[in-house]
Amino acid sequence: MSDIDRYIQAATRDNTRRSYQSAIEHFEVEWAGFLPATADSVARYLANYAGQLSTSTLNQRLAALAQWHQGQGFPDPTKSPLVKKVMKGIQALHPSRPQQAKPLVITQLECIDGSLAQQLDAGATRTQQLRILRDRAILLLGFWRGFRSDELSRVCVEHLELCPGEGMVLYLPHTKTKYVGATFKVPALQRLCPVEACHTWLMASGLTQGPLFPAIDRWGHQGTKFMHPTSFIAILRNLINGAGIANADQFSSHSLRRGFATWANANGWDLKATMEYIGWKDVRSAMRYIDTDPFATSALALPS
């Protein structure tokens, strides 16, 4: 691989690369389409799967086809008036409400934290203790920093500065949406404290390098590789189930970010402050995360 190819590959997120490869395979293998494609074949492909696939999935397939053609130096058929009209018609005849993860509200956060404390008090084994402390740190850091599974999976012990009772600063070299490194400050709180949770986890685990949140096997051995982001979704759902909260399958790592954004909105944070804290650049992206339910009872002042 040449240096140019290596840099081009680095400019594309792993998840995006995999999803685009899957989309191209679907077009060529599942639908038996030919590449390079024509505007007519792309339009027929869209019409064939309209109603079966969501409009967001079809748009993702178009983006993959567009990238393939542009990368190979061929004219991009997805930009043709025909394809645009067909896609507009599909959106009109097959409207779909965007699926969003449920926000994990502050009362549920307290419920899960209490459940974990009870498990520790009940005489957990060494392996169980490690998992409980790790999962609690994941939960509280994810909520109070508005982190998704991608950010949580990238936190490295070497890039963490922690002062118990004061706060901590962590550095992420890159994230799912940002290639430039970013520094995040985490406040110490009187309760549900992410700093205390991370400190307790570090003391129990003895970690000095590598991923802050490694996998833990049945014997209590900690892995040295970073967990896949999907592993954090499974961890969160297990925590939700363990606390007796219904519909765990409707929660994802986005639930932590949505929960914090909803909490911030309910407690008087203006949109600009919330966007700066989480790192949003686009107002529309931010608004999708904020639940403005006027009947919500999850408001709670930030612990000082």
Question: Structural domains in the chain?
Answer: 3-93 (1.10.150.130), 106-289 (1.10.443.10)
- Residue 30 is classified by DSSP as I
Q: How far is CA 79 from CA 33, 69, 76, in A?
A: 18, 11, 6
Residue 15 confidence (pLDDT): 65
Query: Which DSSP category does 175 fall into?
Result: -
32/40 Cα distance (integer angstroms): 14
Helix segments in the chain, DSSP class H: 3-10, 14-25, 39-49, 55-72, 81-93, 106-121, 126-145, 149-154, 194-205, 229-242, 254-266, 271-278, 283-289
pLDDT tens string 248-260: 999 988 899 999 9
| 197 band by pLDDT with thresholds 50, 70 and 90 | very high
CB 109 within 8 A of CB 260: no
Answer whether residue 295 shows pLDDT above 70.
no
pLDDT greater than 70 at residue 296:
no
- Hey, what are 15's tokens? 């998840």
**Each residue's pLDDT tens digit, 131-186:** 999 999 999 999 999 999 999 999 999 999 999 999 999 999 876 655 567 899 99
Other residues' Cβ atoms within 10 Å of the Cβ of residue 111: 18
3-state secondary structure of 244: coil
**Sequence-ordered list of residues with C-beta below 8 angstroms from that of 5, at least 6 positions apart, any chain:** none
Mean pLDDT is lowest, of 8-12, 19-23, 90-94, for 8-12
C-alpha span between 117 and 136 (Å, rounded): 9
**SS3 label, residue 38:** coil
Mean pLDDT of the chain: 87
Of 208, 267, 216, nearest to 238 by C-alpha is 216
What pLDDT does residue 297 have? 44
Amino acid 16 reads T
> Cis before residue 173, ω within 30 degrees of 0?
no
* 202 three-state secondary structure: helix
